Structure formats: C-alpha cells, structure tokens
Amino acid sequence: MEDCIFCKIIKREIPSEIVYEDDEVIAFNDVNPLAPIHILVVPKKHIDCIAHLAEEDLPLISKIYGVINKIAEEKGFKENGFKVIVNSGKDSGQEVMHIHFHLLAGTNLAHINA
C-alpha cells in the first residue's frame, strides 16, 4: 500500500534494523523502544489490523507466532519470557495501520504496554 510506512520498510524505501525476514514476514527494531528489546513482527501482506483479517490470512497469523518463537530462541530470551501486543483500531491506540506484533523482552514487562 502506497502511503504505508511498514510497506515502505518492506520495500526498503525507508531504512530499518531488520532482525528477521522470510518470504511472508519481516521483523525489525521499533524506532521508539519501550523495553530493552522491542521488535515489530509484521506480515509483508498489507492488512490494516486484526479486524480486517480474512479467513485466508489466518495461517499467516499462526506462522507469525512461530517466527516470534524463533526470534526469542535466537536472541536468547525465550526462557526468561516476553510479551506480545497487537493493537487493533482507534480505541487501542494503533498508529500504524499495517498489522504488527510488538515483541517486548529484556526486562520485567508486567507494567509495560505498547
């Protein structure tokens, strides 16, 4: 989608610190981290938010949880724990309308929200 910041990151039109990529999913560091580790895990397909998921998108969302585990394993925080947050729509405070999974780790996250 043309004016979408995450689509631009996917197309390398704007820079980001990519930590994982495959044919369907990309993950990069959040530019404004709320924890020592704050990664955004993003499907390459532009989907606005959870509320806009089609039935056919569900395997992709399931895959994203596998990617999250892979990143957690590789970065060494799988055992200590992590938090995944997905905002959907206006009332959630979602700012970037391309569905993304905040992956937070590296400290006690009990009171951290994204």
Active site residues: 100
Instruction: Provide, rounded to whole angstroms, the least separation between the CB of residue 79 and ligand AMP.
Output: 25
The first and second tokens of residue 78, run together, are 């799988």
* Window 38 to 77, contacts with ligand AMP (CB under 6 A): 40
Of 51-59, 67-75, 90-98, 104-112, the window that binds ligand AMP (rule: CB under 6 A) is 90-98
Helix (H, G, I), strand (E, B) or coil at 83: strand
Q: Is 31 exposed, middle or buried (0-12, 13-18, 19+ CB in 10 A)?
A: exposed
Q: Rule CB under 5 A: is residue 1 a binding residue for Zn ion? A: yes
> Does position 60 bind Zn ion by CB under 5 A?
no
Residue whose pair of structure tokens reads 């369907």 in the numeric block: 24
Using CB under 6 A as the binding criterion, the count of chain residues that bind ligand AMP stands at 14
Residue indicated by tokens 């993304």: 100
Tell me: does residue 1 bind ligand AMP (CB under 6 A). no
Q: Which of residues 4-33 bind Zn ion (CB under 5 A)?
A: 4, 6-7
Is 33 or 59 the residue whose CB approaches ligand AMP more closely? 33
Q: What radius of gyration do the chain's Cα atoms show?
A: 13
Distances from the Cα of 92 to the Cαs of 15, 49, 61, 95, in angstroms?
26, 11, 19, 9
Residues lying near Zn ion in the complex (CB under 5 A) are found at 1, 4, 6-7, 46, 98
